[in-house]
Amino acid sequence: MNPCRNPRALAAQAALIALLLGAALQAGLPSGLFAVFFLILVLKVAVVVYMFHLSEEQLKKVTAFILRAVYRPRLRGLEHLAGRAGQGTLVVANHTSFMDVPLLVAFLPGRLTFAVDVQYAEAWWLKPFLRSVKALPVNPTQPLAARGLIESLGRGETVVIFPEGRITDTGGLMKIYEGPGLIAAKSGVEVVPVIIDGLQYRRFSRLRPFLLRPPRTRVSLTVHPPRRLAAPDIGDETQRDHRRRAAVALRDLLTESRLNSADLDRSLWTALRDAARQFGSSRLILEDLDRRPLTYAQMLAQARFMGGRLAAVSRPGENVGLLLPNSCALTLALFGLWSEGRTAVLLNFSQGPGPMGSAVATARVKTVFTSRRFLETAGLTALAEGLGTRLLYLEDMNPTRAGTLAARFRPARPAGPGPAPPGGPRGPAPPGGPRRTGGTARRAGGARRGAARVAGRA
């Protein structure tokens, strides 16, 4: 039998090309050859679909197989959408790439109704794919165009919308339009946030062409628990104000979900090390007024050297004061202390000797790290010497190439996350995190409590 007319042979060829495509991504295939391979794969899959007359469920399985072979996505929280058929659910997702829709169709359970921008709904290359799902053309800039989606939610359908209305070109959330917020507020159904990460750095995104060295991050799809949008009607407010408030509530929900999708159990030192691995250790990341930029590798090595010197005169978990200007040295000292499990206490010199002395006593600071040049320039030498603590100076560090290299390979000892309270989330202020104190003990305690509230909201 001619293999070109054998459906099983065509399916096997498509599967083989998908596997080769995944291997090519890992090996860094040039974009031109990648586009050729991907076009062949799309054509093969299209032939298989038309010859097999795949049902919607079968098409989801084929699409999922291809995406698993190419991206190896990490899937989390799919159980939050299971068993919600017929209940009317609004799925809101961030828009990172042209591959977002296939990713959602392949892995989200149930039949989905997509709100598609009118610009893409008329695209000839997208129409064959949209036949496998229910697509409603919607203009995200027109709040009144949401009536059809509200009716679909009333019929118990699962509606998927991208509140940003366009693919991100920054890697973060874009402007949230008022239409999606109005849909969530007027329909009264539960909202399920879905966060897609990693596709913004891959091909078919708008951000990748601007990156000289795109990071090698794994694609992830995180489904969060359903929630009601906190935007109730207020009697005397106008429709315009209500739409704006609903859009703000939806933006806050997506921002919170994006944060919860991250690994919050990592220390800041571990996060910096992971960022160096993802974005490349040779990428410039830090610079101050001295105009001596540092790469990730230089920052990690110098922070480890500085942290080792500070750890030699302090104990694990001890509070170490920092009296430095906003500079690379302050950043290196912070990450150096965190890498050694110490707590950094940022001292506010603008408050004067009395409040500063009270802050040092409240935080039980025994060692303050500062700079002679900074103290002389700012006229703070007498103030620093009057704190009654041991002073360590930046100028006495004198990092050598051998010392920096040895510190780079010395294992870090960052403090772990704080213990989780019974029945609640992990606390926002783990040991080793920064503290900022000032004034009296009462004012210092208020500052710590205020920082905890801010961290909780973040």
C-beta separation of 223 from 77 below 8 A: yes
CA distance 285 to 306: 18
Could you give phi then psi for residue 128, rounded to 5 degrees?
-60, -35
Give Cβ neighbours of residue 368 (< 8 Å, ≥ 6 apart): 320, 321, 322, 323, 347, 360, 384, 387, 389, 390, 391, 392
Fold of 70-261: Glycerol-3-phosphate (1)-acyltransferase (3.40.1130)
CA distance 361 to 355: 10
List the chain domain ranges.
1-53, 70-261, 268-414+430-457
- CA 9 from chain center: how many Å? 41
pLDDT per residue rounded down to tens, the chain (458 residues): 444 445 556 566 666 666 666 666 656 666 666 667 666 666 666 665 554 566 677 778 888 888 999 899 999 999 999 888 778 899 999 999 989 988 998 899 888 888 777 777 666 556 656 666 788 877 666 656 678 888 888 888 899 999 988 899 888 889 988 888 888 888 888 999 999 999 998 888 988 887 767 777 889 999 999 998 877 667 677 878 888 888 899 999 999 999 888 877 778 898 898 888 877 888 889 999 888 999 999 999 999 999 988 988 888 888 999 999 999 999 999 999 999 989 999 998 888 888 888 989 999 999 999 999 999 999 999 999 988 899 999 998 877 777 666 666 677 777 655 444 333 444 444 445 555 554 444 444 434 433 433 333 33
Burial (CB < 10 A; 0-12, 13-18, 19+), residue 212, is exposed
pLDDT at 52: 55
CA distance 67 to 22: 9
Question: Tell me, what amino acid is at 310?
Answer: L
Give Cβ neighbours of residue 137 (< 8 Å, ≥ 6 apart): 116, 117, 118, 121, 122
The CATH number of 268-414+430-457, from 1.10.10.10, 3.40.50.12780, 3.20.20.120, 3.30.980.10, is 3.40.50.12780
Number of alpha carbons in the 13 Å side-chain half-sphere of residue 387: 32
pLDDT at 427: 42
> Of these residues, 53, 80, 95, 242, which one is catalytic?
95
Helix (H, G, I), strand (E, B) or coil at 40: helix
Is residue 224 annotated as part of the catalytic site, yes or no? no
Check for a shared fold between 70-261 and 268-414+430-457.
Answer: no
Helix (H, G, I), strand (E, B) or coil at 271: helix
DSSP output for 107-160: HS-S-EEEEEEHHHHT-TTTHHHHTTSEEEEE-TT-GGGGHHHHHHHHTT-EEE
CA distance 171 to 36: 26
The DSSP bridge partners found for residue 222 are 76, 195
